Amino acid sequence: MLQYQAPERDIEFLLFELFRVQDRWAGIPALSEVSEDLARAVITEAGRLAGEVMAPINQSGDEAGCQWQDGVVTTPPGFKAAYDEMAGGGWLGLSGNPAYEGQGMPKVLGCMIEEMFWAANSSLYLYGTLTAGACICIDSHGSEEQKQTYLPKLYSGQWSGAMDLTEPHAGTDLGIIRTRAVPHADGSYRISGTKIFITSGEHDMAENIVHLVLAKLPDAPEGSKGISLFIVPKYLPDGSGGIGERNGVASGSIEHKMGIRGSATNVMNYDEAVGFMIGEPNQGLACMFTMMNYERLSVGLQGLGAGELAYQQAARYARERLQGRSSTGPKNPDGPADSLLVHPDVRRMLLTVRTLTEAGRAFAIFTGMQLDLAKHADDEEADRIGQLLTPIAKAFLTDRGFEAAVLAQQVFGGHGFIREWGAEQIVRDARIGQIYEGTNGIQAGDLIGRKVLRDGGATLEALLDGFDVGTVDAEYRPALEAAFGRIRSALAHVLAESNADPELPGAVATDFLDLVGYTLYAWFWAQMATAAGDDAFGRGKRECAAFYFARLLPKTLGLEAGICSTSACVMGLPDEAF
């Protein structure tokens, strides 16, 4: 059975010893009442919920999956009770607006809670994260009446949220969607069309589901400039806080998927459904991206959680499994064999998973800190850096999370291919993170195109300039300075050549994102190793840092070389040759 224990010691080390977030919160009025003691209590309770309530039904939820019958979706046994406990504890509104019954906790704390929930049961937490994302969109762009109507119900989990973008013929290219919204005399709209891949579009855990639907008005401009956003509830609000008549939105089927089988992914049909515009006409894509950017970071945390869950299973198995002998002599002379931990390649895999996961956790916290500063302290540079880091967080965390899941499965050998051990489920569940909320290739294109080239690399340079290598132990400084130099060299090449070679940014985008990601992880490992104490925990950090710098940071050498090329090697093969 999959087992999960929240990594509280590591989370608390990062929050309160390395980044000292409690000092940062004290200087921000909106967060000043969040004490270290309160945050520790929140982490402990979230860890209990994750480990004792969500994790035990992870494997059984995968086995049972969701069931569809005549438009009614039934979630796996135990999911509703676990969802009720998650919702009843206020976890869906943890970072929500206090004016509408949210708890107003820092995003950086929310990131760590999300990692725990994703690790414990990604299928179950998907229902929660879509609700939290819908709240952010409504809070940012909705009218006062819409906020009053929907936010308290969503924060409480009594109602849940869904994001309805994709259509059968239109994936990422939302400009060609066909769903239509026709104005009605009472100021509402009538929505007609079909959407696919709608996570949490229909289920049995909340009394109402609030869909945020992209559609086009009859006179809308062509392309993405003609998209509007609408609130389309499953049941229309009755005006007194309850639900009224059923709306014209229904699930046509659910998808049969590789992983996250306890999460209902629906085909949604709209038949003259009543919708209410959120934001301005033809500005729906900008409104939806408020939710999308939240979901992109959240999906990155899903990848991080997958890595942690995978590591825990593989490390436990490696400690307990006896197989072979150490090349330096028996380490378990009274037993029939030594543990898997005597084998260097098993250690290589485990250390790769661990160092990627623990650096990813530090990166997630750092990203959350930028979002808190942007939101609560009106810090414009933090806002720019947060936007820069979002596609990296989504893509790099999920790529490394899937890599971690596969490596952990390999530690199990043949048992990793067998369902009862759970390793193959982690691989299947982790795979979706690289695909949805914009594939990782799209994230890489967003990073290099919109976030780097658009401002000539100024925000990326500001990020690097903020990392003072003089604050970390001397042994890490030369490698860090060289790695930062590789980013600057690659950036200079792309800036210099992209006008003459306009396909170059797209051709090297994924390598560029990975170059930045591996380098950022090195910076965080140097910081962690420098800040850690002399106890067993601290010694472990320094050993892991040594592994990362010796075995994983050198990947940036090849990435820089690949980026400093042309697009010809990618674009030269004729179409008919594929």
Residue with tokens 């990296």: 392
Whole-number Cα distances in Å, 136 to 142, 237, 291, 383, 523:
10, 20, 6, 16, 31
Round to whole Å and give the CA distance between 222 and 237: 33
Give dist(CA 133, CA 292) in Å, integer: 8
| Alpha-carbon gap, residue 572 to 578, rounded angstroms | 11
The pair of structure tokens assigned to 392 is 């990296």
Strands (E), 139-257: 159-164, 180-183, 189-199, 208-215, 228-233, 235-237, 243-246, 249-254
The contacts of residue 557 (CB under 8 Å, 6+ apart) are 486
Burial class (CB within 10 angstroms; exposed 0-12, middle 13-18, buried 19+) of 538 = middle
> Is there a catalytic annotation at residue 437?
yes
Distance CA 15, CA 38 (A): 13
DSSP-derived secondary structure letter, 322: B
Interatomic CA distance for residues 494 and 496, integer angstroms:
5
For residues 378 and 522, what is the distance between their CA atoms, to the nearest angstrom? 29
**Catalytic residue, candidates 437, 461, 481, 576:** 437
Q: What is the set of active-site residues?
A: 437
